[in-house]
Amino acid sequence: MAKKIKYAMVIDINRCIGCKACMTSCKAENEVPLGVFRNHVRELEKGIYPNMKKIFLPVLCNQCDKPACKAALPEGYEDAITKRDDGIVVWDEAKCKGKVAEAAIEGCPYSNPYMHPQKNVFQKCDYCAHRVDAGLQPACVATCIGGARIFGDVNDSTSDVFKYMATHSTHVLKPEEGTEPNTYYVALDRITAERLEGSQQLPPTDATEIAVENFSG
């Protein structure tokens, strides 16, 4: 009997060129309002001229196996957020709103979910579930120019994502949080190698330059 599908994404940092096509395709595909993002590409700099280095880190919802957003829901609202059988973590906007949503957003150690500024409901990346259900790759994967995103069923040994993980060493963000993310990174150690102490917090000239966080792994 075939294993059930489990969706996962691999992001190969060696391939990300920081072009922001993924950020824009996400906005377009999911009608995300201005001011919030489901998909960020962080820009990290380190070093002193001329030995300066810069690297890009795309982040999105990790569709955790133990989603902290769900764990943070107040009692009685546990079904406001659900983990599907295929691994994607979805939410019910009718239930996950207001204070409930705030709690869930607060609970995420990756700061991916946001409050929709007008609807006052919880929202986040859902691996473009509507596309996946229609037999399509997520929008960010489809448009990724550098070829940095690989997506599919990690339980199927013939899938691209399985093969990529089998041939590359991968890490997840913040494993110490214990949420068991399903977005894996190749060459994440290049970011930990850049190290917090040496890297500079970029001045916030635009939405993608966000304070560097403590990524370990």
Partner 1 sequence: MQLKRRKFIQLGSAAGAALTVGSQFGMKAKASALMELKQTGSASPTGKKNQEIPYTCLTCNIEDGGIAYVEDGRIRRLEGNPNHPGNRGKLCAKGNAGHLHVYDPTRILNPLKRVGPRGSGKWKRITWDEALSEVAGKIQGAMDIDPMSVMFQYGRNRTHGLVYRFMNALGSGTVNNHTSICECNKKVAMEHAWGPDIETPDFAHTKYILNFGSNLAEAAYFHNPYIQRLMDGKIENKAKLVTFDPRMTNTGAISDEWIPLKPATDGVVALAMCNVILQEGLADTEFIRKYTNVTAHQLTEHLKQYTPEFAEKESGVSADTIRRIAIEFATAGPATTYTYRGSSMHQNGVYTEKATMMLNVVTGNIEKRGGFNLPRGLGFGGGPGPHPPKPPHSILKYPPEYPLASHHVSHHVSHSILEGRQKINVFMLYCHNPLYTQPDGDTWKQILTSEKHIPYSVSFSINMDDSTKYADIILPDTTFLERWDPESMPSSALGWVGLRQPVIKPLGNAKAFRDTIYELAQKIDPDGKRGVKKYFSYGSAESYVKNQLEATPGLKAAGGFKLLKKYGVWPFYDKKKEDNFKFGAHEETLSESDLAGTTLEGRTLMKGGKSVGLMVDGKAVRGFGTPSRTFQVNVPEWEHYGFEPMPHYEAIEDHKRMKSDELLLSTYKPNVHTQSRTPNLKWLQELHHRNPAWINTETAKARGIGNDDLIRITSPIGYMVTKARVTEGIHPQVVAIATSSGMSNKSTLGNYGGSKDPDIVQNTWWDDTGVHPNQIIPVSTDPIGGGMGWFDTVITVTKAKSGDKYGDTRSDRGAARKAFEKALSKATKVRTEDAHNTTAKTNVRDEIHTEVGGVFGTTAKLRDFEDPFNTTA
By the 8 A CB rule, do 36 and 117 touch? Answer: yes
- Residue 122 pairs with which residues in a beta bridge? 115
Rounded CA gap, 87 and 77, in Å?
20
Rounded CA gap, 171 and 62, in Å?
12
Residue 193 near partner 1 by CB under 8 A = no
Q: How far is the CB of 65 from partner 1 (least distance, A)?
A: 17
By the 8 A CB rule, do 151 and 9 touch? Answer: yes
Residue 197 near partner 1 by CB under 8 A = no
Residue 151 near partner 1 by CB under 8 A = yes
Q: How far does Cα 7 stand from its chain's mean position?
A: 13
Q: How far is the CB of 61 from partner 1 (least distance, A)?
A: 17
Residue 78 near partner 1 by CB under 8 A = no
Rounded CA gap, 132 and 139, in Å?
10
Closer by beta carbon to partner 1, 15 or else 174: 15
Residue 123 near partner 1 by CB under 8 A = no
Which listed range, 46-54, 62-70, 173-181, 189-197, lies at the site for partner 1 (CB under 8 A)?
A: 46-54
Q: Which residue of 1, 49, 75, 211 would you call a contact of partner 1, by CB under 8 A?
A: 49
Residue 55 near partner 1 by CB under 8 A = yes
Q: Which residue of 74, 98, 147, 175 would you call a contact of partner 1, by CB under 8 A?
A: 147
Residue 134 near partner 1 by CB under 8 A = yes
Closer by beta carbon to partner 1, 35 or else 76: 35
Q: What is the 3-state secondary structure (H, E, C) of 28-97?
A: HHHCCCCCCCCEEEEEEEECCCCCCEEEEEEEECCCCCCCHHHHCCCCCCHHHEEECCCCCEEECCCCCE
> What DSSP designation does 175 have?
G
Binding site for partner 1 (CB under 8 A): 2, 5, 12, 14-15, 17-21, 23-25, 27-29, 31, 33-35, 45, 47-50, 52-56, 82, 84-85, 90, 117-118, 128, 130-137, 141-147, 151-153, 155-156, 158-161, 200, 203, 205-208
